[in-house]
Structure 1
Amino acid sequence: MEEFFRFLGNYFWLWFVFGGAIVGGVRGIQSWSARAAKRRHKRRLEIIRAKAEAKALAAAALPAGVEEADKRTRADRLQRLMDAHDDVTRRWLEYELDVAKLIAFPTMSDGREALTAAFLRAKKVADGLRPASPDARIDAEELAEYRDAVHDYEVAFDVAEQDARRVRDSGFTEAERKRLERARQLLQVAVDRSATAAERQVAYRRVRDELDGLIAVSDEAIEVLEQKVAAPLEQRRPPEPT
């Protein structure tokens, strides 16, 4: 090490001779590296552009009939998925809008139940991924995602329904089960065509009282029930004079 420093002391003047060349060499290397990086970036862009052009040319080269058939096949698959989606929703609404079914299978309206909550989450996902129409322009990945969501929706509903039919009102106390039974009996009177208007209205109000705080009844279900209670009254009204 001492010999190295002694050499530097004796020949320090070499820096003035070759220092510029050394600095220039370093800068040249840096400049070359930057140009090489730009060339690599440019080549990547060219490859990406070439792939996109090849894909477009391949699509354009398809016969019109083949391309149309592919669109039609995808639309048919999407239509079947949407039909399956609608079928599960229809089955759910049979509970959601029918007070008699809600009384018989109360857990189907209780979002606190784990299986019911899982079904409602699956419904939200499927509804969010549902295309506007079978002819919507979606790619294969989006189609697969919607397909999986509809499948999860179907399975979650089946599991929740089977459990609701199994447990029925077993999760309620004895007093609560008696209230549900009274509500069921009163509901039969409320929609009975042979009952008087007063009897139906009293029964309807008592149904509401018995269910209050026991099961969640949607506004839509109440509206459907009110229509059932009122329908016989409308039919028994005498015709208005002409």
Structure 2
Amino acid sequence: MNELLQFAGNYWWLVFPLFGMTMGAIGTVSKQRELSARRRHREQLELLRAQNGGMPASAPLPPAPDPVGDDLARVEARHDEVTHRWLDYELDVSKLISYPAMSDGRQPLTAAFLRAKKVADNLRPAPGEKPTPERLNDYRDAVTDYEVAFELAERDARRVKAAAFTPEERKRLDTAQQLLGVAVDEAATPNERQVAYRRVRQELDGLIWLSDEAVENLEKKVARELPRPTSETPPGPAV
């Protein structure tokens, strides 16, 4: 032990170069670790670029809030819903026969509904147009009036049905409804359909106005090809 202390006392100056060598070794190891980490990071980026068409993956940015656009979409959806409900009557001859007041502009509630529809249609922004808040408020109010007017007109039409017609006219409506069933019956022959269709038009003439679209839809149903009968066993070859 004394000899070791004596050696350390005589060669104490060796502490400095040994310390420098130790710190240098530690620095070299740290630098190697840093270079290795950078290399792994570059490799990961290259992999991400390859997987994403040459661009590193990134989380998509959330869309910017658009309160005016969202509100407009909701009002337009309400507008379209009422129009769709109205077209269910306008394009369906059977419904028009059952509730003729829905197509009669002389009825006060139907006339009010048609006016409200025109106002809402005129205030609706064009596709891609972003209205001002004031214009959007006017459009929203018009759609609300349109909804209310339709509800009133539909309720009244279902209540009165054919009450506004004379007994003879109601009889013609009943006949037209029965003939309509034949005109669109797939079990009927094409000739039977055509005869029934012409009778329907005659019975409704002067009673109910049919739009061109309603007539076109009805004619498509009348002209629909009859289903061909299927044979369980194919015919055998001619002998």
Per the alignment, residue 71 of structure 2 pairs with 77
Contact 2:120 2:146 survives alignment (8 Å): yes
How big is each residue's C-alpha offset from its partner over 1:184-220, in whole Å with a ceiling of 9 and x where there is no partner? 0000000000011111000000000000000111111
How big is each residue's C-alpha offset from its partner over 1:85-109, in whole Å with a ceiling of 9 and x where there is no partner? 0000000000000000000000000
Using structure 2 for the length normalisation, give the TM-score.
Answer: 0.68
Per the alignment, residue 161 of structure 1 pairs with 154
- 1:103 and 2:97 are equivalent in the alignment: yes
* Counterpart Cα distance in 2 of 1:160 and 1:236: 43
* Counterpart Cα distance in 1 of 2:158 and 2:76: 27
* Segments of 4+ moved more than 2 angstroms: 235-238
How big is each residue's C-alpha offset from its partner over 1:111-168, in whole Å with a ceiling of 9 and x where there is no partner? 11110000000000000000123x5221111010000000000000000000000000
Taking a change above 3 Å as real, the CA distance of residues 237 and 128 of structure 1, as seen in their structure-2 partners, is: farther
> Alignment length, in residue pairs?
169
* Counterpart Cα distance in 2 of 1:237 and 1:198: 18
Matching residue's letter, 1:123? K
Alignment of 1:34-53 (within 5 A): none
* Counterpart Cα distance in 2 of 1:231 and 1:237: 15
* Counterpart Cα distance in 2 of 1:220 and 1:228: 13
Offset at residue 68 of structure 1 (A)? 3.9
Taking a change above 3 Å as real, the CA distance of residues 212 and 144 of structure 1, as seen in their structure-2 partners, is: same
Alignment of 1:1-242 (within 5 A): 68-69=64-65, 72-133=66-127, 135-233=128-226, 235-236=227-228
* Counterpart Cα distance in 2 of 1:106 and 1:203: 20
Helix, strand or coil for the counterpart of 2:223? helix
* Counterpart Cα distance in 2 of 1:191 and 1:236: 16
| Bigger Rg, structure 1 or 2 | 2
RMSD value, Cα:
1.8
* Counterpart Cα distance in 2 of 1:112 and 1:194: 38
Percent of paired sites with the same residue: 63
Matching residue's letter, 2:132? D
* Counterpart Cα distance in 2 of 1:103 and 1:95: 9
Per the alignment, residue 22 of structure 2 pairs with none
